[in-house]
Amino acid sequence: MNFTYAHYQESAAFLRAKLGGFQPQVAMVLGSGLGYLGDVVENPIVVPYGDIPHFKHSTAPGHKGQLVFGTLAGKPVAVMQGRMHHYEGYSLQEVVYAIRVLRLMGCATLFVTNAAGGVNWKFKAGDLMLITDQIKLFLESPLRGENLPEFGPRFPDSSYLYTPALQDLARKQARKLDLDLKEGVYMYFPGPQYETPAEIRMARSLGADAVGMSTVPEVIVAGHCGMEILGFTLVSNMAAGVLPQPLSEQEVLDAAEAAREKFSALVLACLEAL
């Protein structure tokens, strides 16, 4: 499906009609098992993805598949509880569709979160990582095809996708919370199979600190339409081959649950400090 600007406008108009004048400023994408922040949004207006024109469902485990509008840490937010992934069979344009709609609704900032495998030897499961940059190798661009100049240029710069000032803000909040915030490069793998140990060795040699199956498409599109971006990875497991045990989906969800308190504290502190 090739979306035109009119499709995005139609979805945004549908949502605006539900919000009674509420104007979100920060869009948040909550990854595997991290959707609980959406449950503490104040005065929530919940819209299931299935109700919104042109939206797709999220079928991934730990992803609720709804948008929650309301206030979080004093800021007007639009929280995506669950995201769409390329491995679910969606086109990249479908995966990133909501980001453009939220941009049209007035969100100038994007918080992205994910669970990912730790590649950096210094990491351990349960660590939080500030995303400083990303690598996309095995994926065409979500911007492929006709450019929609209403959103951004044909050849957008990618030098500062993760906004430096927001990275600084996150470092400062982590220090205040006495939280050990790792930093690094997130590398996209298409999944849904976890990577092989050989792929992880390759990722490490290419400069990756964590690997996962999301985030990169959304960030490319958010950068294209001029959003400021802050990204956090929960290292839910060490990537394939780092430790002797096999990887499992349950381990990812359990790690997300175990990190709940510190992850929420950091994200809320960053929101508040915006």
**Contact residues: ligand HPA, CB under 6 A:** 115-117, 189, 194-195, 211-213, 236-237, 239, 247, 252
Least spacing, CB of residue 70 vs ligand HPA, in Å: 28
Helix 260-273 crosses helix 249-258 at what angle (to 10 degrees)?
60
Distance from C-alpha of 263 to C-alpha of 144, rounded to nearest angstrom: 34
Between vectors from CA 174 to CA 170 and to CA 178, what angle results, nearest 5°?
170
The CB-nearest residue to ligand HPA is 117
Least spacing, CB of residue 4 vs ligand HPA, in Å: 32
Least spacing, CB of residue 131 vs ligand HPA, in Å: 14
AA letter at 70: G
Cβ atoms of 28 and 111 within 8 Å: the answer is yes
The residue (of 11 and 236) whose beta carbon lies closer to ligand HPA is 236
Least spacing, CB of residue 254 vs ligand HPA, in Å: 11
Least spacing, CB of residue 80 vs ligand HPA, in Å: 17
The residue (of 4 and 193) whose beta carbon lies closer to ligand HPA is 193
User: CB 244: neighbour CB atoms within 10 A?
Assistant: 5
Nearest to 123 by CA among 203, 216, 233: 233
The residue (of 213 and 270) whose beta carbon lies closer to ligand HPA is 213
Tokens of 19: 């919000």
Distance from C-alpha of 31 to C-alpha of 103, rounded to nearest angstrom: 19
User: CB 10: neighbour CB atoms within 10 A?
Assistant: 15
The residue (of 126 and 156) whose beta carbon lies closer to ligand HPA is 126
Distance from C-alpha of 52 to C-alpha of 131, rounded to nearest angstrom: 30
Helix 97-104 crosses helix 216-224 at what angle (to 10 degrees)?
30
The residue (of 72 and 119) whose beta carbon lies closer to ligand HPA is 119
The residue (of 102 and 115) whose beta carbon lies closer to ligand HPA is 115
Least spacing, CB of residue 241 vs ligand HPA, in Å: 10
